[in-house]
Amino acid sequence: MVKCPRGISQVKLVLRLLGAIWVSSLVIIAGFALVQIYAERDQILTDLERRAWLTGEVLKEAVEPAIQRGPPARVERIIKKFGSPRRGIAIYDQFAGLVVATPDVAPRLPPSLPMISKALTTGEAQKGIETLAGQKTYLYAVPLQGEGPPLGALVIFLDASHIEINPSDLLQQNTVRLLILASVVSLLTLLVVKWSITHPMTRMAEWARQVRAGKATPPPVSGRFFGSLASEFSELAKSLDDAKAAAEREALLRLEGEALWTEERLKQFVRSQLNDTPLFVVSNREPLIHQWRGNKIEASAPASGLVTAIEPIMRACGGLWIAQGSGDADQETVNAHDKVGVPPEQPAYTLRRVWLTKEEEDGYYYGFANEGIWPLCHIAHTRPVFRASDWAAYQRVNEKFAEALLEEMRDTERPYVLIQDYHFALLPRLIKETRPDARIALFWHIPWPNPEAFGICPWQQEILLGMLGADLIGFHIQFHCNNFLETVERAIEARVDRERFGVVRGRHTTYVKPLPISVAPEGDPGDLGISREELLRELGGSVALLGVGVDRIDYTKGILERFRAIERFFERYPEYRQRLVFVELAAPSRSHIKRYQDLDEEADRVVEEINWKLQTKRWKPIVYLRGQHSHKEIRPYYRHADFCMVTSIHDGMNLVAKEYVSAVEEDRGVLILSRFTGAARELVDALQVNPYHIDEMAEAMRLAVEMPPDERALRMRRMKQIVRERNIYRWAGLLLEELTRVSVDRAGVAEV
C-alpha cells in the first residue's frame, strides 16, 4: 500500500517522458519534411532553369542565321532535331505569332503567351512556369536578334509537373523513420531512466529511511549526476543529527542542572548579547590557505593552535575575520574586495585577506614578532633579537591591518573586535583612536614574562600603550595576568586597580582577565580511517604500545629533550624495545629564521642517532613524520595512542594536550604534560613533568604504560570532563560576556 503511489508516480513520469519524446519526434519529422519540400522544389526549379538556358543558348546560335537566310523548313528541321517528349521548342515571329513548334508541344500552345511579348519588347530572356493544357510547364523565352529589332523569339518548354511535391507523400515516407527513431529513443530513455534516475532515487529513498531511523550509512550514489545531491543530503542529514544531538545534550543538561557550552548555545548567546552586531576577528594566521597543487588550487587549514581555537567560534557566530593572505593561490580565490567565504562549501563567515610585501613579512613577522617578542615572552633561553628596521615594519603592518579593519567597520555602530596575539600589540590603540565606540578585546596566546624579562624590549612602552587601547586583555592563566599588571605598573604612568584587575589611564580602563582557551568538543568519531591494530601493524610487527607527540618544530616545544627521554626510557627498560614505538608528527615552522633551521636539522640528526643505536630490522623506537598534517591525519594517532607527550619548555596553554584528551579512547590514554604549560593548571590528572629533567620524563613514560587500567580510566575521565565543560564555546562565551559588560561611550570611556 505504501509503494503503490510511488510506483504510479514513476509510471506517470515515464509516460510523460515518452509522450514528450513521441510528440517532439513527430514535430521534428514534420518540420524537416516541410523544409525538404521547399528545398527539393528550389533544386528542381534551378535544374530546369539551367537545362533551358543551355538549350536556348545553343539553339539561338543556330536558329538566328537560319531565320535570316533560309526558309521556315530549315528552322523546323533544327528544332525537331533538338526536341524531345519532355523538351518542346517553338519559334515565334516578331509579332509574337507562332512560326513553328515541335510536334509534342504544338497542340498545347495557346494563341498567345504574354511572356513572349515581354521578351520581344524588352529584348531580354524571360522565364517562368505556366500551365499549358492542364500541365505545369517551365518556359524559357529568349529573343532572336537581327541587325535591327528582334526577329522573333525562341521558346524552350520543359515538363515541370514534378515540381509539385505532395507533403502527405513525404510524411508517409518518413513515418517508418519516425517509428524506428521514436522506438529506439524510447527504449534507451527507459533504460537511462531506470538505471540513472529511478534506481538511484530508490536507493537514496532507502538510504534516507535508514538515516531517519538513526542508521548512519554513507550515501549510496556518487558521481556527477546525483553525487552533488547526495552530498547535500549527507550534509543535511549530518546537520539534523547534530541538531538532534545538541537538543538531546541540552535536555540532558537541563535534567542534570549543568550548563555545558555548545555551539548552539554560543549562537544564541551572541544573538542575544550582540544584537546582530557583527563580530570582527583579527589575526596574523588565516583560517584557510589556498595553494597551487599542480594545476589545481587546494584549500587547507594551517597547523595553528590559534586557528584551532578561533575557527569553531566563527563558524558558530559568523562575522568577519581579517588575516594575512599567505597562500600562493590566495589572490586567485578572493573577490574584488579581497574577501572569500569560509568554509568554501557552505560559508559561515567571511575572510578578508591583507597582503604584505616580502620586506614587511620579514620585518614584522619573522623579525620583530618571532625573533623578538616570541623568545622574550617564552623565556626559552634563546636570546631575543631587536632591530629598528623590524620594529618599523611591525608598526607599518599594524597600521595596514588597522586601515583594513576600520574600513570594514565603517558602517557598524559600536562594533565588537577580537584581536589575536602578539602580532598586533599596537592595533588596539590604533583602532581606539579612530573608533572610540568600538569594544575591543585583545587575547594574548603566549605567556607574559616577569617585568625584568620584558624590560629587555627597547619598545616596551609603545607595546604596552598599544595593548592598553583594548577594553579587555585576556591571558590563559592568572600568573600571566599578574606579570602583565606588574610590568605596566613599573614601565608606564598608569594606575593598576588590583581589586578589579584593571589598568586606568585617564578616563579609560583596560580590564585584564584570565581566560584559559580550549578546543571544540570532539564530535562523532565516525570513520577513523585505520584501526588500532592496523596502525600498530604498520609501525612494526611486534608493536603493542603507541606513544605520540604533535608539535610545530619550535624550540619552546621541548622536542629534543623529549627524544632524549625516549632514548633513556629504552635504555632503562629494554623489555619495551620492539613493543613500544613513539610517533612524532612535526610541522615545519618559521623556516626563514636560522634558529628554527638549526633546530630542524638537529631534530633530524637526533632521531637518526637514536634509531641507529636502538632499532632492529623491523622496528625503530621513533617514527618521525615531518610535514603539515591535517586534523584528520592526526586523529587516529590521538585516538589509539597509549600516551601523549606534551613537554613544552614554556607554553601559554598548548592545545595539543586538550586535543589528545578530547580524542583518545576513554579507557586507554595517559597524558604526560609539562608543568610549564597553561594546560597543566587545568589537567591536574596528567603525569606532570619537568621538561628539562630527562630521567623524570623517562620514568613518566614507564608509569604511563604500566598504570593500572582503573586508575588510567579514572584520570582520563576526569580530564575529559574538564575539557568537555571548559570547551572553546565556553571560552568565547566568557570572553564576549566580559566584553559586553564593558559600557563604552563614543568618547572611548569604558566602565563596567
Could you read off the pLDDT of 281-303 as tens digits, one per residue? Answer: 999 999 999 999 888 998 888 76
| Structure letter (DSSP) for residue 545 | E
pLDDT band at 75 (very low <50, low <70, confident <90, very high): confident
pLDDT level of residue 239 (50, 70, 90 thresholds):
low
- Per-position b or e across 383-411, b if 16+ CB within 10 A of its CB: ebebeeebbebbbbbbebbbebbeebbee
By the 10 Å C-beta count (0-12 exposed, 13-18 middle, 19+ buried), 591 is classed as: exposed
Specify which of 525-539, 631-645, 737-751 reaches the highest per-range mean pLDDT. 631-645
% of the chain beyond a pLDDT of 90: 48
Q: Give the mean pLDDT of 617-638.
A: 91
Q: C-alpha grid cell for residue 469?
A: 587601547
Question: Has residue 663 got a pLDDT over 70?
Answer: yes
Nearest to 669 by CA among 712, 724, 727: 712
How high is the pLDDT of residue 246?
61
Structure confidence at residue 121 (pLDDT):
81
3-class SS letters over 191-209: HHHHHHHHHHHHHHHHHHH
Cis peptide before 111 (omega within 30 of 0): no
Would you state the cell numbers that stand for residue 336, as one nine-digit string? Answer: 574584488
Lowest average pLDDT, out of 183-187, 224-228, 560-564, 658-662, goes to: 224-228
pLDDT reading at 225 higher than 80: no
Please give the average per-residue pLDDT across 672-698, as a whole number.
97
Q: CB-based contacts of 724: which residues, under 8 Å, 6+ apart?
A: 260, 521, 662
Q: Enumerate the β-bridge partners of residue 143.
A: 153
Q: Band of the pLDDT at 746, cuts 50, 70, 90? A: very low
Q: Which residue has the higher pLDDT, 127 or 353?
A: 353
Separation between Cα atoms, residue 430 and residue 440, nearest integer Å: 11
Q: What is the pLDDT of residue 165?
A: 62
Would you state the pLDDT for residue 3?
45
Q: What is the pLDDT of residue 747?
A: 44
Mean pLDDT of the chain: 85
Per the structure block, which three cell numbers stand in for 288? Answer: 584557510
Distance CA 626, CA 628 (A): 7
Is it the case that residue 462 has pLDDT exceeding 50? yes
**CB atoms closer than 10 angstroms to residue 202:** 15
Beta strands in 37-163 (DSSP E): 87-93, 98-101, 126-132, 135-144, 152-159
Q: Which of 328-332, 498-502, 519-523, 532-536 has the lowest mean pLDDT?
A: 519-523
Percent of the chain exceeding pLDDT 70 equals: 86
- Where do we find the cell 578572493? 334
Distance separating alpha carbons of residues 723 and 715, to the nearest angstrom: 13
pLDDT beyond 50 at 745 = no
Residue found by looking up cell 583594548 in the block: 470
Instruction: Supply the pLDDT for residue 256.
Output: 44
Provide the β-strand partners of residue 417: 280, 440
pLDDT beyond 60 at 5: no
pLDDT at position 134 is 78
Instruction: Specify whether the backbone of 599 is left (phi greater than 0), alpha (psi in -120 to 50) or beta.
Output: alpha
**Residue showing cell 602583565:** 484
Q: In what order do the strands lie in the sheet with 502-505?
A: 339-342, 349-354, 320-324, 279-282, 416-420, 439-443, 472-475, 508-514, 502-505, 495-497
User: Given pLDDT bands bounded at 50, 70 and 90, which one contains residue 202?
Assistant: confident
Which pLDDT belongs to residue 249?
54
Burial grade of 595 (CB within 10 A; 0-12, 13-18, 19 or more): middle
pLDDT, mean of residues 679-700: 97
523: confidence class by pLDDT, cuts 50, 70, 90: low
- Judged against a pLDDT cut of 90, whether residue 100 lies above it is answered with no
Neighbours of 192 (CB within 10 A): 12
Is residue 222 very low, low, confident or very high in pLDDT (cuts 50, 70, 90)?
low
The pLDDT of 667-672, averaged and rounded, is 92
Residue-level pLDDT at 257:
42
The model's confidence at residue 550, banded by pLDDT at 50, 70 and 90, is very high
What CA–CA distance (Å, rounded) separates 239 from 219? Answer: 15
Q: How far apart (Å, rounded) are the C-alpha atoms in residues 529 and 516? A: 32
Among 115-129, 329-343, 348-362, 368-382, which is the least confidently predicted range?
115-129
The DSSP code for 294 is T
Asked if pLDDT for residue 367 goes beyond 50, the answer is: yes
pLDDT confidence tier of residue 2, bands split at 50, 70 and 90: very low
End-to-end CA distance of the chain: 67
Closest CA to 676 of 653, 709, 698: 653
Q: Assess whether pLDDT exceeds 90 at residue 497.
A: yes
DSSP E strand boundaries for 235-338: 279-282, 289-293, 296-300, 320-324
Which H or E run includes 689? strand 687-689
Assigned C-alpha cell, 354:
591583507
Q: Is 676 exposed, middle or buried (0-12, 13-18, 19+ CB in 10 A)?
A: buried
Q: Is 90 exceeded by the pLDDT of residue 479?
A: yes
Strand-pairing partners, residue 512, are: 473
pLDDT digits (tens, 9 = 90+) for 440-459: 999 999 999 999 999 999 99
Q: Which of 312-316, 359-363, 416-420, 484-488 has the lowest mean pLDDT?
A: 312-316
HSE-up of residue 364 (Cα within 13 Å, Cβ side): 23
